[in-house]
């Protein structure tokens, strides 16, 4: 296993992170409690030390399952991350719905939310506490001040922001790093959806601290080679039915284009996707969907192969910038935005204007 230290902190975490969100909904199948805990425990034995959860995953279920692993393997072997901001007791959403739950980022709620997480996890301190899908209008000085207060009480060591739920929110990521000195930003980031992830990595390099946690690293299953046909139909509970159809049609075509590069690198496509991500030094951990112990083994092995060679990275960058020569329909989906008219903006790299960004 490869480990990276989040720059500016003492947190040394595995580049493969175990996000146990899969135990909080039936989107990825059903997991019995014992099965889930066994998967988490196996990941620890294979070298994974970074576990990321949230109260909203199963309304506390995922945190309770992680708590069992903490008790069984020992707190000192793990770096624990959870999140805050969703009111699971008054969600305002029908169970199983894809609608976003009610949020609350007031100091009073954050402190109450934290106490619930500490209780469910069975710990007295969270290593990394992430504001869950915090939007631009919800950023207040009170959030950062509350993190400082909780750190002073010894209940939180470091904090960050998880961007979402959909891909985008570039401005939120910038503000987390530049205005509030957050330690991490978590975002959708993969070979076929590179923005705003690469800008956030550049921010970390420029400021000399912080890191990016990548989620959806296999492009929602495309790079897992989960699908073979552009006519694939998703069951009712599968969240990917909400994806633009071009994501599937052209994702399969992109796979055919890069398969030779992956084979030359001695990797499967899913391993190649992980190696591409860890080739970005600011990416401190990657959280794929881990649905079995074999998935954990596969990604541990991929991490062990290390970053991709620079010429391969350059070739992939050129292909991406040309939409893999597949035309406009192959361009990544629009990014969500709190500032753009209509709430979205075309996916594209925005070179960082560093003097302006730091003012």
Q: How many CB atoms lie within 10 A of CB 100?
A: 16
Rounded to 10°, the helix 61-73/107-121 angle is: 50
What value, to the nearest 5°, has the Cα angle with vertex 338 and ends 335 and 341?
80
| Residues linked to residue 128 through DSSP beta bridges, in sequence order | 81, 158
1: its two tokens: 């296993």
| Cα separations in angstroms, 190 against 13, 73, 129, 340 | 20, 31, 23, 23
What per-residue confidence (pLDDT) applies to 346? 97
What per-residue confidence (pLDDT) applies to 355? 59
Spell out the domain ranges in the chain. 3-357
Mean pLDDT by 10 residues, the chain (359 residues): 97 97 83 96 98 96 98 98 93 59 95 98 98 95 96 98 96 95 98 97 96 97 94 85 92 97 97 98 97 96 97 98 98 96 95 67
What per-residue confidence (pLDDT) applies to 100? 78
Q: How far apart are the C-alpha atoms of 287 and 281, rounded to whole Å?
A: 16
Q: How many CB atoms lie within 10 A of CB 7?
A: 17
DSSP letters along 161-180, please?
Answer: EE--SSSB-HHHHHHHHHTT
DSSP letters along 285-311, please?
Answer: EEE----SHHHHHHHHHHHHH-SPPHH
What per-residue confidence (pLDDT) applies to 187? 98
Residues 6+ positions from 235 with CB-CB distance below 8 Å: 241
Q: How many CB atoms lie within 10 A of CB 28?
A: 17
CB 114 within 8 A of CB 85: no
Quickly name the fold that domain 3-357 has: TIM Barrel (3.20.20)
């Amino acid at each position: 296993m490869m480990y990276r230290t989040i720059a500016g902190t003492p947190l040394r975490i595995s580049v493969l992170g175990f996000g146990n969100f899969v135990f909080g909904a039936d989107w990825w199948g059903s997991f019995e409690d014992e099965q889930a805990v066994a998967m988490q425990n196996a990941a620890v034995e294979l070298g994974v030390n970074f576990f990321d959860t949230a109260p909203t995953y199963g309304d506390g279920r995922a945190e309770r399952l992680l708590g069992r692993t903490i008790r069984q393997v020992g707190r000192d072997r793990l770096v624990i991350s959870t999140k805050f901001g969703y009111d699971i007791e008054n969600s305002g959403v029908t169970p199983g719905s894809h609608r976003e739950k009610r949020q609350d980022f007031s100091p009073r709620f954050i402190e109450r939310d934290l106490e619930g997480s500490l209780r469910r996890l069975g710990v007295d301190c969270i290593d990394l506490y992430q504001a869950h899908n915090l939007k631009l209008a919800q950023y207040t000085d009170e959030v950062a001040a509350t993190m400082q207060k909780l750190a002073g009480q010894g209940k939180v060591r470091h904090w960050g922001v998880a961007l979402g739920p959909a891909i985008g929110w570039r401005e939120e990521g910038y503000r987390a790093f530049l205005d509030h000195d957050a330690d991490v930003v978590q975002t959708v980031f993969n070979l076929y959806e590179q923005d705003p992830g690469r800008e956030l990595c550049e921010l970390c390099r420029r400021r000399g601290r912080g890191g990016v946690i990548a989620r959806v690293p296999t492009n929602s299953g495309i790079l897992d080679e989960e699908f073979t046909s552009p006519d694939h139909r998703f069951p009712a509970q599968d969240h990917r039915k909400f994806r633009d159809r071009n994501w599937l049609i052209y994702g399969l075509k992109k796979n055919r284009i890069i398969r030779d590069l992956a084979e030359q690198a001695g990797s499967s496509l899913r391993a190649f996707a992980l190696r591409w991500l860890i080739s970005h030094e600011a990416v401190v951990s990657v959280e794929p969907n881990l649905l079995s112990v074999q998935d954990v083994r596969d990604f541990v092995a991929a991490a062990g192969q290390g970053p991709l060679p620079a010429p391969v990275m350059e070739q992939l960058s050129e292909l991406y910038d040309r939409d893999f020569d597949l035309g406009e329909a192959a361009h990544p989906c629009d990014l969500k935005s709190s500032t753009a008219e209509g709430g979205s903006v075309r996916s594209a790299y925005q070179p960082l204007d560093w003097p302006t960004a730091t003012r």
